[in-house]
Amino acid sequence: MKIDIGKAAKKIGIPMRSWAGRCYEIACLFVEKGVVQGTPVYGHWLGKVDPKAQKFGERSGLPFQHHGWVLMKNGTVVDPTRWVFENAKPYVFIGKPPTDDRETCTCGHRDEDHEGGFFCPCSRCDCQDFALNVLWPYDEGGNRWKSAMRSPPPPFNPDKVVEKFNPPPEVFAHCRMLLKQVTKVMQESHWSTEQLFWIANLPYEDHGGLVHEVYQALAEADLEAAVPIDNRRRAKREYGDQHGRRKRG
């Protein structure tokens, strides 16, 4: 799959020279105008930034950049503006996270795309040399940063009880386990605001297959705004209403 970036620019009606700093907008237009089928997502770019890159060069060396791209149903990333970070000739990056142990370059392509090894230009983009990529650079919702910066769970605050948080039994047990406050007898009203805000802002993966139900229970307690919107959208996309609402014990 390849996308001619010149034709894409004409289709969305915005010249490439003005794409820098408009990553999510361009990703949305790629979907809206039918350049590609998928979902615009927002998160962090964890890859390198060329010091000479337009608008972003001064941020070279920072741990991440806010970024938007298109995610297809099969997990493929379509990134119209990745070249801005790389200070490369404009192109549309298309790729998937590695599923094996084969080495990939920081440009996102395999070693065979670099004519079979190191010190060779990439045949799929303007990368001039193979540099080992140790981390898939796309992090929807910035959850790797959330994981790295996770704070300890807050204690229960009896002055800020959230009476409306009434999750199904498995969500109840899951949240208590996260808070490390599991007891044999615990009323469902014993949740405080700080605790639920902490649960809402945990990395997406911490909730496993219950993530959609955790967010739904928070929404029913009028705490939907506490959940990062990118994670809410991801949970809805990945799980929707397939779980429904399970009966409470």
Tell me, yes or no, whether 27 and 44 share the same domain: yes
Domain endpoint, select from 140, 169, 196: 140
Contact 122, 107 (CB under 8 A): yes
Tell me, yes or no, whether 152 and 73 share the same domain: no
In a domain, 247, yes or no: no
Tell me, yes or no, whether 124 and 176 share the same domain: no
The whole model's pTM is what?
0.79
Q: Return all residues near 152 (Cβ < 8 A) that are at least 6 apart.
A: none
In a domain, 128, yes or no: yes
Q: Which residues pair with 39 in a beta bridge?
A: 71
Domain total of the chain: 2
Tell me, yes or no, whether 50 and 95 share the same domain: yes
In a domain, 249, yes or no: no
Domain endpoint, select from 140, 173, 200: 140
Domain endpoint, select from 107, 140, 173: 140
In a domain, 246, yes or no: no
Tell me, yes or no, whether 104 and 132 share the same domain: yes
Tell me, yes or no, whether 39 and 75 share the same domain: yes
Q: What is the pLDDT along the chain (249 residues), one digit of tens a residue?
A: 899 999 999 999 999 999 999 999 999 999 999 999 999 999 999 988 999 998 899 999 888 999 999 999 999 999 999 999 999 999 999 999 877 656 677 787 877 788 765 678 888 888 888 776 656 899 999 999 999 888 999 988 889 999 899 899 999 999 999 988 654 444 445 789 999 999 999 999 999 999 999 999 999 999 999 999 999 999 999 997 554 444 343
Range of the domain at 169: 145-239
Tell me, yes or no, whether 136 and 21 share the same domain: yes
Taking the CA atoms of the chain, what radius of gyration do you get in angstroms? 21
Tell me, yes or no, whether 210 and 154 share the same domain: yes
Tell me, yes or no, whether 22 and 71 share the same domain: yes
Tell me how far apart the alpha carbons of residues 114 and 93 are, in angstroms, rounded to a whole number: 15
Tell me how far apart the alpha carbons of residues 60 and 48 are, in angstroms, rounded to a whole number: 7
